[in-house]
Amino acid sequence: MEASAPEVVGAPRAPQQELPVDVTIVANDIGPVGGMERVLAELIAGLQRLGHRVTVIARTYDAQPLPGVTFHRVRGPRGPTLIAYPWFLVAASLAVRRFRRGVVQATGAIVLNRVDVIAVHYCHQIGPANPSRATHAYRLHAKLLTVMNRTLERWCYNARASATFVCVSDGVAEEINRYFPGLESVTRIHNGVDTRKFAPGLRAEDSAEMRERLGIDPERLVALFVGSEWHGKGLGQLLSAIAQAKRWELVVAGRGDRERYEALASSLAIANRVHWVGVARDMQLLYALADAFVLPSEYETFSLVTFEAAASGVPIIATPVSGVRELVEDSRNGFIVSQEPAVIANRLERLAADEELRTRLGRAARESALRFSWESTVRSHHELYQRLAPAVSA
């Protein structure tokens, strides 16, 4: 099976050599659902378009076959993560030993082999491991997983200190430099966003049909929330804000403890104003539906969905987490907020009262997102691989 790739900003410039090189990408999952999964799919596709031969080693790879892209499946359990992670660590390491070709890039601390590039989408030394459900078993699993993640990450990164560590945002680069000061090369290549796929005014008719299907009156305003791990991403605070912002409906996309949050919405008397759509593959339709995108998260590394919403011309209301800090300028293309429900509600009410403000912020959000194209992201990775290839083949 064969696949595709994204583009990145800010990597060092390579020599003028443009010959394609062999690249091996190692990851847990790659495909159209999930931020990191979509980033990797775009990267692989972009590298293929530039002529690189790409070997993909992953548990799942949901992408259209492409010439020059070879997929080797790592078989094993998907969960619980306490079992799936060490299983993949061993199984993928054996696959890398057998199938590696050219420059090898691992997505985090997921193999024991020598690799040339480690793509850092998340720093476990600081990032919280939020339980997906509020039960004692899930909390215990999250605590044990945090210990395992941090221990293996420290061992892997310190043992591979000579690799090039590519961080997806300025914030992640700062975290890696803080917790791993002995690394030889830490750089930053932003994730990209498809500014053609995610653009204002696309699929308005489909959006109107979805609004009707969800039972949302055409005159009502729609706030969109996208993400999993709902506790850490602030869905509870957002529901409380919606209870105060009377003119807004809320559409929730993603996977989480729906029963718990439906109960919270009912207790806030807003159950009829909250619409649950689950995991969505057709994200541009949801952005076209929205009058505001709200993500009051306590921690992010890049937040691809925020960039997609901005590219779609949707005003952003978000906490100042990594990635968001590099995109959103308060009151110019959105609002930077705390997780306090009253603060979020205040910004929603300001947008509800001023259509011109919504238009201006949405237009500015689109302009800001244009700086983060996939073309730039892929080109930066291409140049990095070109620079590393001579040493790898020596």
Q: How far apart are the C-alpha atoms of 64 and 27, rounded to whole Å?
A: 17
Residue 210: per-residue pLDDT: 85
Whether 5 contacts 48, CB under 8 Å: yes
Pair type for strands 22-30 and 53-61: parallel
pLDDT, one tens digit per residue, over 210-256 is: 888 899 998 999 999 999 889 999 999 999 999 999 999 999 999 99
Q: Which residues of 14-29 are buried (b: 16+ CB within 10 A; e: fewer)?
A: beeeeebbbbbbbbbb
Q: In the predicted model, what is the mean pLDDT of residues 19-36? A: 92
Residue 229: per-residue pLDDT: 87
Q: In the predicted model, what is the mean pLDDT of residues 47-56? A: 96
Cα 49 to its chain centre, rounded Å, is 23
Q: In the predicted model, what is the mean pLDDT of residues 58-67? A: 95
Domains annotated for the chain, with CATH where assigned, are 22-192+373-393 (3.40.50.2000), 204-369 (3.40.50.2000)
pLDDT band at 13 (very low <50, low <70, confident <90, very high): very low
Whether 117 contacts 133, CB under 8 Å: no
Both tokens assigned to 175: 């975290």
Whether 306 contacts 295, CB under 8 Å: yes
Residue 15: per-residue pLDDT: 41
| Per-residue pLDDT at 12 exceeds 80 | no
Q: In the predicted model, what is the mean pLDDT of residues 31-49? A: 93
Mean pLDDT, the chain, integer: 91
The side-by-side arrangement of strands in the sheet containing 117-120 is: 69-73, 53-61, 22-30, 103-107, 117-120, 164-167, 185-188
| Greatest pairwise CA separation for the chain in angstroms | 66
Residue 182: per-residue pLDDT: 95
Residue 6: per-residue pLDDT: 39
Residue 209: per-residue pLDDT: 83
Both tokens assigned to 28: 């847990």
Residue 137: per-residue pLDDT: 78
Q: In the predicted model, what is the mean pLDDT of residues 349-375? A: 96
* Residue of higher predicted confidence among 262 and 16: 262
| Per-residue pLDDT at 150 exceeds 80 | yes
**Cis bond upstream, residue 80 (ω within 30):** yes
| Per-residue pLDDT at 7 exceeds 50 | no
| Per-residue pLDDT at 305 exceeds 70 | yes
Q: Please state, for a pLDDT cut of 70, what percent of the chain lies above it.
A: 92
Residue 19: per-residue pLDDT: 79
Residue 280: per-residue pLDDT: 86
Both tokens assigned to 161: 């200190």
Q: How far apart are the C-alpha atoms of 100 and 104, rounded to whole Å?
A: 7
pLDDT, one tens digit per residue, over 103-143 is: 999 999 999 999 999 999 999 998 556 665 667 777 788 88
pTM: 0.84
| Per-residue pLDDT at 60 exceeds 90 | yes
Whether 302 contacts 322, CB under 8 Å: yes
pLDDT, one tens digit per residue, over 183-200 is: 999 999 999 999 999 999
| Per-residue pLDDT at 1 exceeds 80 | no
| Per-residue pLDDT at 11 exceeds 50 | no
Query: Which residue is listed with tokens 């619980």?
Result: 80
Residue 134: per-residue pLDDT: 63
Q: In the predicted model, what is the mean pLDDT of residues 153-159? A: 96
Q: How far apart are the C-alpha atoms of 300 and 227, rounded to whole Å?
A: 11
| Per-residue pLDDT at 168 exceeds 90 | yes
Residue 31: per-residue pLDDT: 94
Whether 113 contacts 285, CB under 8 Å: no
Residue 2: per-residue pLDDT: 40
DSSP state of 5: B
Residue 314: per-residue pLDDT: 97
